[in-house]
Amino acid sequence: MTSRIHIHTTCPGCREEVYFDELVKGCCPLCGSEVGDFSEPENELEDFFDRSDLTWLVFHYFLFKRFLELGASPLQVMQLANECGTSQEKPETRFMLEVPMTRLDRVRPKRCAGCGKIYIAGGKKVVSGDLSTPRSRFLFFCPGC
């Protein structure tokens, strides 16, 4: 028996999965109802998304992917993306998100971005920057700040 790799659809009459190579004169072989003209496949995404929504969807995907790879909290990333999308005037593109420290960050001496004190243990690591530029900076804050 050969595997079917052809396009298939669901019959509107009997709601069964029907492969296009099984259609009999454009009708379902099980119930006989007309399945339709399949010369060009329908794109369900066009009905679901508007063209303007598609650009925001792509932007949110890459923004989410970028910060998730850095280790930022998904909730913080979604809040940042929503802030960019909801403001009517020019959106604020600067960001500051807390990310987990790597093993090297935990053991090396760090300078606090708030008070300038040098410390080794504790504190937090923050990624900050501007969405309009490709660069971001990593800042460290001591436990006191």
Residue among 91, 85, 84, 97 at smallest CA distance from 125: 97
Indicate if the pLDDT at residue 145 is higher than 70: yes
Give the pLDDT mean for 62-88.
Answer: 80
Higher pLDDT, 133 or 37: 133
Higher pLDDT, 75 or 50: 75
What mean pLDDT value characterizes the chain? 79
Indicate if the pLDDT at residue 4 is higher than 80: no
Termini Cα distance of the chain:
69
Q: What pTM was computed for the model?
A: 0.52
Strand partners, 19: 8
Rounded distance, CA 140 to CA 124, Å? 6
Contacts 24+ apart (CB under 8 A), 68-77: 70/97, 70/99, 70/127, 70/136, 71/99, 71/100, 72/97, 72/98, 72/99, 72/127, 73/97, 73/98
- For 84-108, write each residue's pLDDT tens digit: 766 656 667 788 888 888 888 888 9
